[in-house]
Structure 1
Amino acid sequence: MGIEVGGLLGLIWLIILIWAIVKVAKSSAGTFAKILWILALLIFPLVGLIVWLLMGPKG
């Protein structure tokens, strides 16, 4: 049962991470800022996502 739960949580985390990257790519921020945010999300998934939610490009 633990493997299924871990797999499901991993899948949900992956979907959230992909959603954040798509939101960054579609934002009105400059190209350099988009690249930095996407790298932060890929290199530091948990911390990057939290920081992006708090301080990231809006709209």
Structure 2
Amino acid sequence: MGIEVGGFFGLILLVLNVWAIIKIVQSLASTGTKVLWVVIILLLPLVGLILWLIMGPRGNTSGI
């Protein structure tokens, strides 16, 4: 049993995940931390996004 995401909700989730990955790559966090967050979001799209929103780095962007 898995969670199947499709249709409009799936598209929204994809856009949010891409946005989160861009924000992670632009952050000033260490490379290891960036890789860990990206892997979590890719393996667990919904849960990873929620975890990143709650526990991810705050306000550290390189301004790219």
Q: Stretches of 4+ moved more than 4 A in 1? A: none
Question: Which amino acid in 1 is paired with 2:33?
Answer: A
Give me the identity figure in percent.
Answer: 54
Q: Which gives a bigger RCO, structure 1 or 2 (Cα 8 Å, sep 6+)?
A: 2
| Greater helix proportion | 1
Q: TM-score, normalised by structure 1?
A: 0.84
Q: Which has the larger radius of gyration?
A: 1
Shift in Å at residue 13 of structure 1? 1.0
* d(CA) in 1 for partners of 2:55, 2:9: 25
* d(CA) in 2 for partners of 1:50, 1:12: 14
SS of equivalent residue, structure 1 residue 50? helix
Q: TM-score, normalised by structure 2?
A: 0.78
In the alignment, does 2:45 pair up with 1:49?
no
